[in-house]
Amino acid sequence: MQHDSMEYSLPAHWLPALINADYSGLNDEDNEQLTAFTRSEVGGMRQQGWRFGHWAYDDQESSFDPFHDARFTGCLPCDCQSVTAHFIKA
């Protein structure tokens, strides 16, 4: 079994949804942007034969990042956290 991971700088307010499936802190626009990001990134790995495992983040404080990895979704510059997506290929 092979493992791979991708590291991203993502909006810190997305972490509860990514890590704990708690979307209660997201408004409709946030939810749409998060969905667009995961479809693009996780979906791209699936097309290459990888299965999504889980999200993880480091314990460092978030910091402002005007050029985070989710800006293509329309998400404005904001406080971001380093987040890792783990994938498995059986």
Residues 11-58 have pLDDT tens digits of 999 999 999 999 999 999 999 999 999 999 888 888 889 999 999 998
Residue boundaries of the structural domains of the chain:
2-89
CB atoms within 10 A of CB 77: 12
- Residue 45: phi and psi, rounded to 5, are -70, -40
pLDDT band at 90 (very low <50, low <70, confident <90, very high): low
Residue 79 has pLDDT above 80, yes or no: yes
Segment 81-89 mean pLDDT: 94
Residue 68 has pLDDT above 90, yes or no: yes
Residue 5 has pLDDT above 80, yes or no: yes
- Residue 35: phi and psi, rounded to 5, are -60, -45
